[in-house]
Structure 1
Amino acid sequence: MSDIPSSTRTIQKVLAAATAVAGGDLEAAILWYRNEPLPLFDCRTAESLVAEGGAADVLNLLESFQAGFVG
């Protein structure tokens, strides 16, 4: 069993996906995660969504960005 809390693993997974969307730029991914209001989610940030248990929604959004969705 891992010593890393599941919440930390979830954040790492979301940041890894955001970093991929940001072309490998971890700093840009962190800025997006913490600060970018997401209109699709009532302008909440990815960070607040993850904290509320919405990591799957954020990951789905990032997957859509990877597929070319820009909204």
Structure 2
Amino acid sequence: MDVNIEMLNDEIRKNRYTITDLANKSGVDKSTISRLLDGRSCSVSTAQKIVVALNITPQKAGLIFFGDKLQ
């Protein structure tokens, strides 16, 4: 799935997380998060873990991880 990197970065900043913080909170490998922020896609499982760690609403999660598919 394609990811809206700008929106995801905004959520990471709002939580005042580093990539390492997000990796620790979500249980997702740091390198996976780095690749995601470089424009690579991710699995639904990875997205779900990140959504929970960042406490993102379902609506915002949809825009971040499925935005182009929802329009």
Both proteins in one fold, TM over 0.5? no
Higher RCO structure, 1 or 2 (CA under 8 Å, sep 6+): 2
Larger radius of gyration: 1
TM bin, normalised by shorter chain, reads 0.3 to 0.5
Q: Which has the higher helix share?
A: 2
TM-score, L = length of structure 1: 0.35
